[in-house]
Structure 1
Amino acid sequence: MSEPILLSLSGSLRQNATNRKLLREAARLFAPGTHIEADLNLPLYDGDLEDGEGIPEAVQTLSDQIAQAHAVIISTPEYNKGPSGVLKNALDWVSRTGGRPWADKPVAVMSAAAGRAGGERAQMVLRGYMVPFQPRILQGPEMHLADSSNEFDEHGKLTSDRYESTLRTLMEKLRAEAGF
């Protein structure tokens, strides 16, 4: 069997966002395999744009990456008790592409946020957003990284053994769910 392809989707566009750092740590713990960071810097979903110009190339690329990945990891910040608009917009666009790229796909959801709950509410809402796509979302362990800006060292590595242990277990379960 070939090496697994792991696709990560960050609900934050900032290059050094804690959600990106968390996804990179997850990919490190998932290894070996190929890790691809998806680009969610997409135009806002607009039915007129879709009708006039079709599916944007960046959206089709994302849909194809989801379809080709053996497993997907998603990390979202919590904005006003929900996932980011960036992430919701990406999900809406991908739902308009042909095929069913999410169907039966192993997915691990996580969150990193400034608050003490670590994005727990955003993660719960995100899980609901995923229901129509019918992926195989892992039920745990839940990874809610609280006070996230203080949980990484200067190299982007998690500093807490407790969080790293939780993330390692989640990635081991995702790897097994993907058949590796």
Structure 2
Amino acid sequence: MPESIKLAAFCGSLRKGSFNRMALQAFIERAPKDMTIDTIEIGDWPLYNADIQAQGFPDKVQAAQKTILAADGVLFVTPEYNYGISGVLKNAIDWLSRMTPQPFAGKTIGLFGASGGALGTARAQYQLRQTLVFLDGRPINKPEVMIGVAQSKFVDGKLTDEATGKLLVDFGVALALAIRQAKAAATVK
């Protein structure tokens, strides 16, 4: 039996009924059986401010860092606002990026998102990939999951689109494989 995998997950949307929260839940329901997912809530973090940092990192930021460091990988589920990631998600990344150790470095990362537009969250995901390069995160490349026209794929908070469900299953398998490969490579060193 394969060793279990722990993910730390972020949802970049604060709205309880958001398509991204629904998509994260749909992924959790379809994740490989040996994968556990800890969702980190970021809605009540203060805006990043070096003056606050000088007083000490907020407790929730410190707890998130510990969760990520203990995880095998990180999952970002991002909406797209004005061709980019949400401010609340960027704020969380900005806080965590200033910690020592910086928790995203060397981590296998999965990302996907849902929106009402035809392109899903393509632009936001590409922007997030740029940020992750700087942070030395290791995002998987395939499959790309950009859930477009999300209003037609969820009913009463549940994913009803079979093709998207299959894509989330494939994504979970690919993410688990990438994490296992990274772990195996780390033991060789």
TM-score by structure 2 length?
A: 0.88
Contact 1:30 1:175 survives alignment (8 Å) = no
Contact 1:113 1:147 survives alignment (8 Å) = yes
In the alignment, which residue of structure 1 is the partner of 2:186? none
3-state DSSP class of the match of 1:110? Answer: strand
CA distance in 2, matches of 1:145, 1:136: 22
Deviation at 1:2, TM superposition (A): 4.8
Contact 1:23 1:73 survives alignment (8 Å) = no
CA distance in 2, matches of 1:132, 1:166: 28
In the alignment, which residue of structure 2 is the partner of 1:140? 142
Deviation at 1:169, TM superposition (A): 1.0
CA distance in 2, matches of 1:104, 1:47: 25
CA distance in 1, matches of 2:7, 2:51: 33
Look up the equivalent residue of 1:20 and give its one-letter code.
R
3-state DSSP class of the match of 2:154? Answer: coil
After superposing on structure 2, the runs of 4+ consecutive aligned residues of structure 1 that deviate more than 4 Å are none
In the alignment, which residue of structure 2 is the partner of 1:168? 169
Contact 1:141 1:170 survives alignment (8 Å) = yes
Identity %: 33
Contact 1:6 1:27 survives alignment (8 Å) = no
Deviations 1:42-67 (A, max 9, x none): 1100111111x211111111111111
Contact 2:97 2:104 survives alignment (8 Å) = no
Identify unmatched segments of 5+ residues in structure 1. Answer: none
In the alignment, which residue of structure 2 is the partner of 1:107? 109
CA distance in 1, matches of 2:8, 2:32: 12
CA distance in 1, matches of 2:29, 2:136: 26
CA distance in 2, matches of 1:15, 1:63: 24
3-state DSSP class of the match of 1:98? Answer: coil
CA distance in 1, matches of 2:58, 2:149: 36
Q: How many residues align?
A: 178
RMSD, aligned α-carbons: 1.6
TM-score by structure 1 length?
A: 0.92
